[in-house]
Amino acid sequence: MKFCLFHLMPYGALDLSYTEKYPSAWTSLPNSYYDPKKGHHYYNRYLDELEYGDELGFDALCVNEHHQTAYGLMAMPGVIAGALSRRTKRARIAVLGRALPLINNPLMVAEEFAILDNITAGRLIAGFVRGVGIEYHTTGVNPGFSHERFHEAHDLIVQAWTRTGPFAFEGKHYNFEYVNLWPRPYQAPHPPIWIPSQGSTETIEWAAHPDRRYTYLQTFSAVDTVKRFHHEYMDTAARYGYTASPDQLGWAVPVYVAETDEIAYREAAPHIESLYNKFLRMPMPFLLPPGYTSFNSMKRLRSIRRGTTGGELPTAKDLIKRGMIICGSPATVRETFEQHQKEIGFNLLISMCQFGTLPADLTRKSMTLFAKEVMPYLRDKVPPAQMRSATAAAE
């Protein structure tokens, strides 16, 4: 198993009573809730945590992009990745990812990633996403063109990385007379591309395609959902005529390790609840603007959502039960991941060791225990080969 340390960089000082006045920590929440002096402290604390991850032996350090929200403060993830690029020496740096459709000049992403790849002598992993629904409000980009713009921007960036310039790019949303990237990326033909997703058949069909074989990351989902989409990826690869490598499958999940199961639960509970119930809180128009997903996905998601809203907010116990956080003693966490790897087949674990309001001391303690007591045990574990062929045979 390989280990990536993921950070969202939430605004940890958020006044959680904001929910009495505002529907979401995204876009509608006035930025008077943000104190730059505290922000200074958090940015530097979180960068320290990622740098500590390099010392602890994580294979990659992961940052991401979100806008106008207390949920994640990395509106420009390249700035954070740039800060990490000189202070870390060993771990890869994964930007998971840039939200391509939201950008009017995708060549700036090609440039940003190529610079990071040059500075780090090829330690960059390039993540591409579509951004979340509400970000189509904050950028004004029409969600109806989200998929078109994603595919077109991706094609432009990969061409800019791999073709000798200058050449012309003729798209519907992006047109350039002169594409001639300086610098070219350090890695040849280009940095590895990872696709984080909340789970979508269209995304899997596209990422698994033999021309791409991009690594697929299932983010913040219940274990059975992770299993379903990872198996869908393997089946899709089989249909395309190849066997997916377990390194093509990643699971992004909050993790908390403490001395015992009981201590871990007690220490993590309020903070994991803050992540799901406060930082991630979003009404339907924020979450799913029309056109952001295909018509059929939208129908399905809305009916699921109708079935689950109006109920109570999930407790830490519910979240642990569904595998929305893996929490416990080193032994519990080891066994849980070993078991899930056997059943699901992934080889990339993207662990988020800080979440919501989790303070610095607990974050560091949990990271240390995870790196020293969990990672070494799982390091040489791989998914059983027969499970993968069985999945393909079942298709």
Partner 1 sequence: MVATPTTTTLTVAGCKTHLRRAGRGRPVLWLHGGGGVTAWAPFMDRLSDSYELIVPDHPGFGRSDMPAWLDDIEDCAFFYLDLIEALGLERLHLAGNAIGAWMAAELAIRDTSRLATLTLVGAAGIRVKGVRKADPFMMSEEEHVRALFHNPSFAEARLKAKRSEEEEDIALRNEFTFARLAWEPRFFSPHLEKWIHRIKLPTLIVWGEGDRMFSVPHAAAWHRLIAGSRLEIYAQCGHLPHIEKADQFVATFTRFAEEKRS
Query: In this chain, which of 41, 45, 137, 381 binds partner 1, going by CB under 8 A?
Result: 137
User: What is d(CA 228, CA 200) in angstroms, rounded to the nearest whole number?
Assistant: 11
Question: What is the residue type of 395?
Answer: E
For residues 117-136, which are near partner 1 according to CB under 8 A?
A: 136
Nearer to partner 1 among residue 183 and residue 283 (C-beta): 283
Residue 183: name the closest of 92, 110, 96 by CA: 110
Q: Is 166 in the site for partner 1 (CB under 8 A)?
A: no
CB of 184 to partner 1, least distance (A): 34
Query: In this chain, which of 142, 198, 243, 297 binds partner 1, going by CB under 8 A?
Result: 142
The residues with which 249 forms a beta bridge, in sequence order, are: 216
Nearer to partner 1 among residue 153 and residue 316 (C-beta): 153
Nearer to partner 1 among residue 28 and residue 368 (C-beta): 28
CB of 72 to partner 1, least distance (A): 21
User: What is d(CA 269, CA 388) in angstroms, rounded to the nearest whole number?
Assistant: 35
Q: Is 250 in the site for partner 1 (CB under 8 A)?
A: no
Q: Is 140 in the site for partner 1 (CB under 8 A)?
A: yes
CB of 130 to partner 1, least distance (A): 15
For residues 268-327, which are near partner 1 according to CB under 8 A?
A: 283-286, 289-291, 295, 298-299, 302
For residues 333-352, which are near partner 1 according to CB under 8 A?
A: none
- Give the max Cα distance, the chain: 61
8 Å CB contact between 65 and 97: yes
8 Å CB contact between 186 and 118: yes
Angle made by CA atoms 360, 58, 85, in degrees to the nearest 5: 85
Question: What is the residue type of 163?
Answer: R
The token pair at 127 is 């993540």
Query: In this chain, which of 143, 250, 323, 330 binds partner 1, going by CB under 8 A?
Result: 143
User: What is d(CA 227, CA 214) in angstroms, rounded to the nearest whole number?
Assistant: 18
What CA–CA distances, in Å, run from 43 to 175, 259, 349, 370?
A: 36, 28, 24, 23
CB of 151 to partner 1, least distance (A): 15
8 Å CB contact between 5 and 348: no
Nearer to partner 1 among residue 118 and residue 139 (C-beta): 139
8 Å CB contact between 203 and 195: yes
Nearer to partner 1 among residue 202 and residue 259 (C-beta): 202
CB of 298 to partner 1, least distance (A): 7
Footprint on this chain of partner 1 (rule: CB under 8 A): 136-137, 140-145, 283-286, 289-291, 295, 298-299, 302
